[in-house]
A and B are shown apart, each in its own frame.
Chain A
Amino acid sequence: MPLNSPALVPLLLLAAAIVIPVLAIRKTTVAYPAMMVASFGAVVISAYNVLRVWRNGPLAYHFGGWFPPVGIEYVLDPLSAFVALVVNVIAFFVLWHSGGIQEREIPGKSVPYHALTLLFLCGANGIIATGDLFNLYVFLEIFSLAAYGLIGIGEKKAAVASFRYLIMGVVGGSFYLLGIGFLYIVTGSLNMADVRNILPHVQGNPAVVTGLSLIVIGMGIKMAVFPLHGWLPDAYTHAPSTSSALIAPIGTKIAAYVLIRILFFVFGVESVSRSLPITDVIAWLSAIGILYGSVMAMAQDEMKRMLAYSSVAQIGYIGLGIGLANPLGYIGAVLHILNHAFMKGALFLVAANLRRNTGRSDISGLDASLRKKLPWSMAAFTVAALSMIGLPPTAGFFSKWYLALGAIDRGNWVFLAVILVSSLLNAVYFFRILERAYLLPPPGKKTGEDPHAEAGKGRGSRVGEEEYTLMIPVVVVSFSLLLIGLWNANIVREVIQRILPLGM
């Protein structure tokens, strides 16, 4: 394949996002298969890119033949190729699953949904591949605007949640833009590699420090690092299930990726912490976020809301790994981008299946009839939950393993304790669900006491076998957590360790 493959995925998705609504004017049913083709294409190309990068080293593509620092450069190194693959794979499964659910959840809006989805993914892929700070901002806005739409398409409250997200997101984006403005004033360049080479000459310049701080705050908002997470729970809860299943695994990870990219690959570990303890601040806030998110998750009754707070906690893991600023913490953070994408993807898909089948996803309404009705979904949920708790051999165990090693390397016992305690808190809120879903006798079978007895009678007869479109993606995503866990050393050695950040 030609040298332009780094740019191929964003362009493919952008083209599809424009073409699909046009095609769908005459026949709306083409939209779904067309979207799946585009998404599958993205998976294939990004898998190919990973292979190429693994064999030949980083790939770079210069738009319009303009060479950097003037032109816009797209770069795939092991990190960006890997994150792009993760995003496209998880998106593929979520979109596959959406085929069985969107007509019911967002009737009549499936064509705009498809277009927005592809724009969202186009933005994500652009952010990952670009080697240009301003181009990143452009894709960040594409990505965010699509996300506002995807959330706002849902139930009544979604509009409010989406508006709140929009305000916060715009503020975050503006911080980022302001930040790169400061950098541009000092360095005169927007190309990441170029900026990286210039920065050592302008060490300690207050404008650089200010710029970096603004970028970190901006990305902190987009990533929902505690205490900048306020927009996330509402947005994930009120969005259509299929949107939250798409945004939860991908949205915040993209911001985490940008943070990693800029902190470690543009600035480098040493210069980041030279004038301000930025990594320490990130680590401590993340640690608080882990505990806060886990405790809040325990208090929720709505499953999607619980998963949203759990996301705040899980983002904390990634933030903590970034903040540790040592190789093991970095490995933990990058691996957790993958692991959490799959875990949260699976969990939100199961929540979607619950809504689809029982019309609701509040935890107090769960009972053992589910294990009959949705045996595969519940099995998938169990595996993903065990991974969230961090039990071997699931992937979640290894995120914790590397982060724990990183915390010990750093000599910070508080972080170690936070990682371990959050494991137990996860166990509390997931076993609460598992216990209900497997052990609580359905209300029909015993007398009275359960307040949901009435509703229970109604849903018993409605659903039989699980639909394949709803079941297969969930099961595949969830069970691949076992494979990721067992073979994580290969990912770590061949991908993550291939480019350790500067100064590690």
Chain B
Amino acid sequence: MIPPEIYSSTIPFYAVMVSLVAMPLILLSSRHAVLREFWTLAASVVKFSLVCLLLPGALAGRVAGFTFWEISPGISLALKADAFGVFFALIASGLWILTSVYSIGYVRGLKERKQTRYFACFAVCLSATIGVAFAANLLTFVFFYEILTIATYPLVIHKETKIAVSAGRKYLVYTLTAGVLLIAATAWTYRLAGTLDFRPGGLFGDASFSPGAITALFLLFLAGVGVKAAVMPLHSWLPAAMAAPTPVSALLHAVAVVKSGVFGVVRVVGFVFGPALMHRFGLNIFLATVAGVTILLASLLAYRQDNLKHRLAYSTVGHLSYIVLGAALLSPASLVGGLLHIANHATMKITMFFCAGAIYVRHHKEKISDLDGIGRVMPWTMGAFTLAAIGLAGIPPINGFISKWQLGLGSLQAGELLPLAVLVLSGLLNAGYFAPVIFRAFLKPPAVPHERGEASYAMIVPLLVTALLSLLLGLDPDLFFHFHRLAVGVSGSILGGIGQ
């Protein structure tokens, strides 16, 4: 394996810091809505551009590294923009631009209070997410992961209602517990391996362990990152967190926070333990079982939700485990499929949350049973929703199909048929729980005619862009951002191939 070329660069640092710098600016302009929104948009555009600058290097196997300083003797706070990190950072920062535009439409449409806190916390969350993406070692990862936990809390309780406060508590109980377990796992790893630097194929090297210790360590890690990845039975904070404003659910609870969790799962599987250890101790089978069960149960639970956002949340729980499953199968195509699903699920699910938010802002409807005929007054919104739903069910030509296809191939490569069956079944279940929404929206006549039409442009344009992106990425997964090439590179590096 050719070691990736690492060059020193400040771009990853700026990419992380840009929104952290924007936070005080947002706080200072608390009295000027336009200025505050300008800072948010400016930060998101700059952040995305910086991440884009890192893309060519990542594709060529050149890794930009940046080291802050030592934060514990022998361990530095360090960033490394490898292909996987750039992959995730691109998605998170790109969708932040759209979410910012959408947020502006949302908070203005609803005349939300405390918008300053809202935008400020959003900016911190994005800094933390990019930090998670670029973390070069486990301690840096934990560092940003915990900041993300705390920065999300004010957004979950944003409405300050009783429901929101109790959702916030639930969120904290789950994520803080996960945090301490992750810290324990990190400390233990450091004692075992003597290093915390992520390395494709695993950081333990030739160290020898007892099976009990390695299994316990893996379980600690899984609990640590599994909460944000909403792996069952650690998922129940996610539906509760839907009490947050919809743009928060859209970006954080479909992309940034939960994907940080699955990103962590892939980092742990591919860059801490590595395929060899996973196979040797049967950890991959355990992980795949958990993921498979989660996929099916979450899809079944989604049926029972009448609240649109809750149904989307359970759908998210299921789809996150697609990615976990891809990591667990550890075959070339399954890893590619899992990684692509990070991007593909992001564009599709954010579209759907945007749609749910648009409906809520314009019509104040949250329940699916109230959506009869909404498609007739909001054709664009519900059109985008339909397109995303088709994609999540895994039907071509939407991008959901591509990732599912790769995952299916991957399970065959791994010589397993059961995961394939789970994927097919889950596709049917997906189609099953989204169909009633679409059916009601377009075909059922409304009991009372809807008085208003589409939401504002600030909300419609982002959701159309994400829907279009889902379609285009389904036609050509290498379009614009070379997600496919990046995913192949990451998969190759984990499995010991060439490239980074």
List residues of chain A with CB under 8 Å of any chain B CB. 386, 389-393, 397-398, 400-402, 404-405, 408-409, 416, 420-421, 423-424, 427, 431, 435, 439, 441, 486-490, 492-493, 497
Contact = CB atoms under 8 A, between A and B. Distances in A.
A420 B184 contact: yes
A108 to B, nearest CB: 42
A420 B180 contact: yes
Given A489-B72, A489-B73, A493-B73, A404 B183 contact: yes
B70 interface: yes
Contacts of A488: 71-72
Contact of B180 (A402, A423, A487): A423
A409 B191 contact: yes
Interface string B137-178: 000001100110110000001001000010011001000110
Given A431-B172, A488-B72, A439 B187 contact: no
B70 A489 contact: yes
Nearest to B157: A439
A386 B143 CA distance: 13
A286 B168 CA distance: 32
Contact of A487 (B69, B150, B168, B169): B69
A301 to B, nearest CB: 19
Contacts of A398: 71-72
B191 A435 contact: no
Interface in B448-499: none
A386 B150 contact: yes
A420 B176 CA distance: 10
A497 B169 CA distance: 40
Contact of A389 (B71, B147, B176, B187): B176
Nearest to B216: A413
Contacts of B69: 486-487, 489
A441 B191 CA distance: 47
Contacts of A435: 165, 168-169
B146 A424 contact: no
B175 to A, nearest CB: 10
Interface of B: 69-73, 77, 142-143, 146-147, 149-150, 157, 160, 165, 168-169, 172, 176-177, 179-181, 183-184, 187-188, 190-191
A404 B72 contact: no
B72 A439 contact: no
A228 to B, nearest CB: 28
B188 A408 contact: yes
A214 B172 CA distance: 44
A405 B150 contact: no
A408 B191 CA distance: 7
B401 to A, nearest CB: 40
A492 to B, nearest CB: 6
B184 A404 contact: yes
A420 B181 contact: yes
Nearest to B139: A401
A104 to B, nearest CB: 32
B72 A401 contact: yes
Contacts of B172: 427, 431
B143 A402 contact: no
B72 to A, nearest CB: 6
B73 A486 contact: no
Given A441-B160, A486-B77, 11 more contacts: A386-B150, A391-B150, A393-B147, A401-B183, A405-B190, A408-B191, A420-B183, A424-B180, A431-B169, A431-B172, A492-B72
18 contacts: A391-B146, A391-B149, A392-B143, A398-B71, A401-B72, A404-B184, A404-B187, A416-B187, A420-B184, A431-B169, A435-B165, A439-B160, A441-B160, A486-B69, A486-B71, A487-B69, A492-B72, A493-B70
Contacts of A493: 70, 73
A163 to B, nearest CB: 40
B71 A408 contact: no
Contacts of A397: 146
Contact of A416 (B73, B149, B184): B184
5 nearest CB pairs, A to B: A489-B70, A420-B180, A404-B187, A392-B143, A408-B191
Contacts of B168: 435
A420 B184 CA distance: 8
B213 to A, nearest CB: 11
A383 to B, nearest CB: 11
Contacts of B143: 392-393
Nearest to B177: A424
A206 to B, nearest CB: 38
Contacts of A421: 180
A380 to B, nearest CB: 16
Nearest to B190: A405
Contacts of A423: 176, 180
The winner among B150, B184, B187 for most chain A CB atoms within 10 A is: B187
A80 to B, nearest CB: 21
A400 B186 CA distance: 12
Contacts of A405: 187, 190-191
B147 A392 contact: yes
A298 to B, nearest CB: 14
The winner among B73, B146, B180, B181 for most chain A CB atoms within 10 A is: B180
Nearest to A331: B73
Contacts of B191: 405, 408-409
Contacts of B165: 435, 439
Contacts of B188: 408
A386 B168 CA distance: 16
B271 to A, nearest CB: 20
Contacts of A393: 143, 147
Nearest to B74: A489
Contacts of A409: 191
Nearest to A487: B69
A170 to B, nearest CB: 40
A391 B69 CA distance: 19
Contacts of A392: 142-143, 146-147
A397 B75 CA distance: 15
B154 to A, nearest CB: 8
A439 B168 CA distance: 11
A71 B384 CA distance: 87
Nearest to B180: A420
Contacts of A492: 72-73
